Amino acid sequence: MLKPFQAMQNSNKRNRLSRIALISAAVLSVSGSLTVLPAYAEDSAKNEVVSTSSQMNPGYYSIRLGDFKITAVSDGTVMVDFTELMNNTSPEEVARLLARRYHGAQVETSINAYVIDTGNHVAIVDTGAGDVFAPSGGHLVENLKSAGYQPEQIDAVLLTHIHGDHSCGLTRNGKMTFPNAVVYADQHDVDFWLNSDNKDKVSDTLKVGFEWAEQSVGTYLKAGRVKAFSEEGELFPGISAINTYGHTPGHTVYQAESQGQRIRFIGDLLHSQDIQFARPEITIDFDLNSPKAARQRLNAFNDAVEGGYLIGAAHIPFPGIGHIQRDGGAFEWIPMNYRAKAN
């Protein structure tokens, strides 16, 4: 997903996305006389409102996958108005699908990245939004550190595709976030997004993506730290790339496999679990090739059901790790069971 925040603020187009909304907390009144407030709410008591942010919540979650350690790392969230963005449907159908899942039109949508620690390599799948979605996004590095990793330890960045909320975290204030990493991305995405001649091929809201690609991936390109691949297959022992072109020209799924256990990181094959598990054929404005994007989603869902492996999804509520199951003619998401015990 790409959220060209600046562009939209300056545009007369529909206001598709907005900043994170303040979440209000109700004040509990007991016996009509005693008002009980959580300690952190006292300063806000007059307004009976407490503002909060994603940073009040845990920002990482680790699991074992055979000999590997997989850590979901939150970059934060972004508000998305799905009734404005979805295609091959109607706003009414989208509103109905969202309401069924207790959502209004605007859904606070997770931005997840995933560390794959093989013991020999520390790779990260996607990088969050860096500077471009602040303040609700851009929290990857602080959460990575909380998980026990320093950015300097990351030796490989695996980009599912070059869109702001996946690749802009490569740099902060023009500096490399991962100074010791090689950036892996499909050649088709590098060729497309690092060439501003292609601006004419995308809608107005996506045009800012070319500047963002230059700032992020371009910085590593100039330093000779980008490895663009044109064929799917193994990148490191246990880590492989799978072509899933459609959402962008080089969209890629990554698989980690150890001791017969598998997880696939599906990037932007899915933007809304509330809408696209029920109706995988519904696409989003950010897809460059909608029919292909829809086919890739359906293929990936079917394969995940057949294969029974784990999925790590960039935009499913954090940590976005679980399984996909069939549900009649549609699909359902089964979040991985929460585990606190060491394994």
Residue 71: phi and psi, rounded to 5, are -125, 120
Task: Find the shortest distance in angstroms from Cβ 111 to Zn ion.
Answer: 11
Q: Among residues 259, 258, 235, which one has the least CA distance to residue 181?
A: 235
- Residue 315, interface with Zn ion (CB under 5 A)? no
CA distance 101 to 14: 24
CA distance 84 to 342: 43
CB 118 within 8 A of CB 67: yes
- Residue 189, interface with Zn ion (CB under 5 A)? no
Closest to Zn ion by CB, 268 or 274: 268
| Site track 232-271 with Zn ion (rule: CB under 5 A), x = hit | ------------------------------------x---
Closest to Zn ion by CB, 167 or 219: 167
Among 1-9, 193-201, 292-300, 335-343, which window interacts with Zn ion (CB under 5 A)?
Answer: 1-9
Closest to Zn ion by CB, 60 or 193: 193
Closest to Zn ion by CB, 109 or 171: 109
Task: Classify residue 29 by burial, with Cβ atoms within 10 Å: 0-12, 13-18, 19+.
Answer: exposed
Instruction: Quote the tokens at residue 119.
Output: 């013991």
CB 324 within 8 A of CB 311: yes
Among 15-23, 155-163, 220-228, 322-330, which window interacts with Zn ion (CB under 5 A)?
Answer: 155-163
Task: Find the shortest distance in angstroms from Cβ 34 to Zn ion.
Answer: 50
Task: Find the shortest distance in angstroms from Cβ 92 to Zn ion.
Answer: 25
Task: Find the shortest distance in angstroms from Cβ 146 to Zn ion.
Answer: 26
Residue 223: phi and psi, rounded to 5, are -90, 5
- Residue 186, interface with Zn ion (CB under 5 A)? no
Task: Find the shortest distance in angstroms from Cβ 101 to Zn ion.
Answer: 22
- Residue 1, interface with Zn ion (CB under 5 A)? yes
Task: Find the shortest distance in angstroms from Cβ 272 to Zn ion.
Answer: 13
Task: Find the shortest distance in angstroms from Cβ 247 to Zn ion.
Answer: 6
With CB atoms as reference, the residue minimizing the distance to Zn ion is 163
**C-alpha separations of 36 from 29, 32, 179 in Å:** 6, 11, 49
CA 268 to chain centre: 7
Place of tokens 């519904």: 282
Residues in contact with Zn ion, counted by CB under 5 A, come to a total of 3
Helices (H), the chain: 5-9, 82-85, 91-100, 140-146, 164-167, 187-193, 208-222, 273-276, 290-307
- Residue 163, interface with Zn ion (CB under 5 A)? yes
Closest to Zn ion by CB, 117 or 287: 287
Task: Find the shortest distance in angstroms from Cβ 235 to Zn ion.
Answer: 21
Closest to Zn ion by CB, 1 or 311: 1
CB-based contacts of 173, cutoff 8 Å, min separation 6: 131
Residues interacting with Zn ion, by CB under 5 A? 1, 163, 268
